[in-house]
């Protein structure tokens, strides 16, 4: 089954990349900074033909409010039932009394669904290595297109 692609049509001749982010809680300071940093770098993601999807266990309406409040220009998904984080070992057991949140993580999947990059933090205060992720997204795109960018 092909994934549903959200957003604008992609340039022909280049494979779609997926950048999957998991984060503990909408509206928390570190999560807000993380997702706003990604928002502010979406031109790099778009140029590299990367679709960004951010996942948390927040309820859908909380994610909708979070997306609107921060003008996030990518997809947010609710894993309210925790199926995704449990399946992929991304459960943060306890954060200040909140149980079974998503660990902060970042993955890059190529157009074949192969995980090309994985970063997972057991400490929710750690932000992902943005520069490393952005550089790798661009590099994967260049190597797949056979050009210089």
36 is catalytic: no
Question: Which of 19, 21, 31, 134 does the annotation list as catalytic?
Answer: 31
Nearest one of 17, 26, 3, 12 to 111, comparing CA atoms: 17
Rounded Cα gap, residues 77 and 57, in angstroms? 8
Rounded Cα gap, residues 90 and 104, in angstroms? 8
Active site residues: 31
């Amino acid at each position: 089954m092909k994934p549903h692609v959200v957003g604008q049509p992609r340039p022909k001749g280049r494979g779609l990349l997926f950048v999957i982010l998991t984060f503990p809680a909408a509206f928390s300071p570190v999560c807000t900074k993380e997702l706003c940093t990604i928002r502010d770098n979406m031109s790099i993601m778009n140029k590299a033909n990367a679709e960004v999807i951010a996942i948390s266990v927040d309820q859908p309406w909380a994610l909708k409010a979070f997306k609107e409040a921060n003008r996030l220009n990518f997809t947010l998904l609710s894993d309210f039932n925790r199926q995704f984080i449990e399946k992929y070992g991304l459960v943060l057991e306890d954060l200040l009394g909140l149980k079974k949140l998503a660990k902060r993580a970042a993955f890059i999947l190529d157009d074949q669904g192969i995980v090309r990059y994985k970063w997972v933090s057991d400490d929710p205060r750690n932000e992902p290595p943005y520069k490393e992720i952005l550089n790798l997204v661009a590099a994967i795109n260049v190597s797949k297109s056979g050009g210089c960018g």
